[in-house]
């Protein structure tokens, strides 16, 4: 079917889906070569992050707005996007168990590297728990899935969403372990159980599991439901990127520069390198492992700040690490996408 005919068909159906727009943009973008496609993926994403920073400085994203907006994205828009992507996916074609366990293995190996590095580098005791957590805990929902979608399309988003469910469960469990092991003084009785409850009820994990069950049952999604989720999903990525930009802090990066630099090295370079080595050693094809590599290369998760604060770790260091890794990931994503 010719492009014009395809577009006319979509228009007659009453809606032009985001994945159709993406596929057309990708088709036209191929004329600029592979590196051009990487640039066309990274620059729009991080332009929105920068726009969020500028908008905050100009008063368009005040602190009173960021909290409710973050909850809207985290509890509604991102879960809607993930559920729709997985529910409409073919698990027999888009789920690779080997890639899943290799991704989790890379994360576990880095976890122990971070723990040992914090001792060898003599990271100050008050920030050690936050340092370790921020060095492996990736921002999958806000950054990882955005890069997967804009670089790989709807198929890549579905693969990344399935993987994200498993990775999130593991990295949240490891975060609780390390923060509990390094917490300041005695804990308040309900803190640990409260954090554990948040992990179990994590909306990204819940939506991914529901999407997997929906896909396994092979239930056709009603058109009204699909279009409603599509509209809500359209809010997820741009709003998430603006919120991240509005939350960055350069002042805290300067105050903890050496330790933050170590976190950037571990999170943005060593973790994806471990993943690449494992994927290629086991002869995985790029179609299967690129979504996983993108998740491993994601900057520190914003929830790392929440968990650090809840469990008595240095929350200021978490903010600094989130800010630094987010800014630096624009360059490191370009590198990993070019070698992947």
The domain limits of the chain are 17-339
Q: What is the pTM of this model?
A: 0.78
Question: CA nearest 221: which of 104, 323, 88, 130?
Answer: 88
| Terminal-residue alpha carbon distance, the chain | 31
Separation in Å, CA 167 to CA 51, 140, 171, 237, 328: 29, 9, 6, 19, 22
Question: CA nearest 158: which of 290, 315, 3, 7?
Answer: 290
> CATH class for domain 17-339?
mainly alpha
Regions of the chain with pLDDT less than 50: 1-26, 28-32, 186-189
Rounded Cα distance between 29 and 136, Å, is: 33
pLDDT number for residue 95: 82
Coil, strand or helix at 300: strand
Bridge partner residues of 138 (DSSP): 300
pLDDT number for residue 324: 92
Query: DSSP letter at 32?
Result: G
Bridge partner residues of 300 (DSSP): 138
Rounded Cα distance between 210 and 266, Å, is: 32
Query: DSSP letter at 30?
Result: G
Q: Tell me how many degrees the CA angle 230-244-308 measures, rounded to the nearest 5.
A: 115
| DSSP state letters, 110-177 | HHHHHHHHHHHTT--HHHHHHHHHHTT-B-IIIIIHHHHHHHHHHHHHHHHHHHHHHHHHHHHHHHHH
pLDDT number for residue 34: 55
Tokens of 137: 């805990």
The answer to whether the beta carbons of residues 89 and 215 sit under 8 Å apart is yes
Q: Tell me how many degrees the CA angle 256-238-244 measures, rounded to the nearest 5.
A: 15
pLDDT number for residue 196: 64
Q: How many CA atoms lie within 13 A of 333 on its CB side?
A: 30
Separation in Å, CA 191 to CA 125, 176, 223, 274: 21, 11, 43, 33
């Amino acid at each position: 079917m010719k492009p014009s005919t395809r577009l006319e068909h979509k228009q007659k159906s009453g809606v032009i889906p985001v994945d159709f727009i993406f596929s057309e943009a990708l088709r036209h973008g191929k004329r600029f070569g592979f590196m051009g496609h990487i640039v066309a993926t990274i620059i729009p994403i991080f332009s929105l992050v920068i726009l969020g920073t500028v908008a905050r400085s100009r008063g368009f994203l005040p602190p009173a707005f960021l909290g409710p907006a973050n909850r809207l994205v985290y509890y509604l828009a991102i879960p809607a996007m993930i559920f729709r992507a997985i529910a409409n996916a073919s698990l027999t074609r888009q789920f690779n168990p080997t890639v899943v366990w290799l991704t989790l293995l890379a994360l576990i190996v880095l976890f122990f590297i971070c723990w040992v590095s914090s001792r060898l580098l003599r990271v100050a005791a008050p920030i050690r728990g936050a340092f370790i957590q921020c060095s492996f805990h990736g921002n999958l929902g806000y950054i990882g899935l955005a890069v997967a979608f804009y670089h790989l399309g709807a198929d890549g988003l579905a693969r990344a969403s399935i993987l994200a469910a498993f990775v999130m469960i593991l990295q949240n469990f490891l975060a609780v372990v390390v923060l509990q092991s390094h917490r300041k003084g005695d804990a308040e009785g309900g803190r640990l159980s409260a954090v554990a409850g948040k992990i179990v009820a994590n909306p990204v994990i819940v939506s991914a599991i529901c999407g997997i069950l929906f896909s396994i049952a092979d239930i056709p999604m009603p058109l009204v439901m699909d279009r409603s989720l599509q509209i809500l999903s359209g809010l997820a990525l741009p709003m998430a990127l603006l919120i991240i930009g509005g939350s960055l802090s350069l002042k805290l990066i300067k105050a903890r520069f050496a330790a933050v630099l170590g976190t950037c090295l571990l999170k943005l370079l060593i973790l994806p390198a471990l993943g690449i080595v494992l994927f290629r050693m086991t002869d995985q094809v790029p179609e299967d492992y690129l979504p996983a590599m993108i998740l491993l290369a994601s900057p520190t998760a914003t929830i790392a700040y929440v968990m650090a604060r809840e469990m008595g770790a240095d929350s200021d260091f978490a903010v600094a690490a989130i800010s630094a890794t987010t800014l630096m990931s624009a360059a490191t994503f370009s590198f990993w996408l070019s070698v992947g």
